[in-house]
Amino acid sequence: MNMNKFVFDNIQILKNTPEVLRALLFGLDDEVLQRNEGENTWCSLEIVAHLISNEQSNFYHRIMLILENDEVPVLAPFDMEVQKKIMIGKNMMDLLNQFEKLRNQNLDKLLNEFSTVDTQNKVAIHPTLGKVTLNNIFSTWLAHDLSHIAQIARVLAKQYKKDVGGFIEYLKFLNS
């Protein structure tokens, strides 16, 4: 499949993510937003901050590095802890607004670039995976968004685990 067509066909997922997050998280109490699924898991605030860090230095930037280089670039490692710095002094609305602004800027630039560059056979070297394609990175960006939307929904749903009573038999994910 032509990479440009793949991007244009699937870009709506990336465009919708900020709105989906806003619909899930807007107006919720800070206590709710700080709950997680247990030790070594992220709360909703951390997840949105993580998505911001990805907009600042991951998927879009890796795609552009590949598109702008004739040689095969080596991708820098991604900092999985930077979201803690991004969260300092910010509430959920601040984070959602920042994420939406960065995402829109990145998608606008990306769409312009994909409309003018031949993306076939574009690859890079990932620090741990080795050779990756532009399609791998773009597809991972899409799946990454969807997995974090699902994670936030799971975190929110698990807050009701004790209250669902016998209905827990129909909500298997609450026990995972």
Reported pTM:
0.92
Domain containing 74 — which CATH number? 1.20.120.450
User: Which residues touch 7 (CB under 8 Å, ≥6 apart)?
Assistant: 110, 111, 114, 119, 138
Calpha distance 176→162 (Å, rounded): 14
**pLDDT above 90 for 79:** no
pLDDT for the residue 1: 53
Across 66-86, average pLDDT: 91
Q: How many CB atoms lie within 10 A of CB 165?
A: 7
Categorize the per-residue pLDDT at 3 as very low, low, confident or very high, splitting at 50, 70 and 90.
low
Domain of 158, in residue numbers: 3-175
Q: Which of 23-27, 64-68, 119-123, 172-176 has the highest mean pLDDT?
A: 23-27
| pLDDT of 32 higher than 90 | yes
Residue 99: C-alpha distances to residues 3, 34, 54, 90, 152 (Å): 25, 18, 10, 12, 15
How many residues are listed for the chain in this entry?
A: 176
Which among 39-43, 97-101, 167-171 has the top mean pLDDT?
A: 97-101
| Per-residue confidence band for 21, with pLDDT thresholds at 50, 70 and 90 | very high
Contact 72, 62 (CB under 8 A): no
Say how many domains are in the chain.
1
- What pLDDT score does 122 carry? 87
Q: Taking residues 165-175, what's their average pLDDT?
A: 90
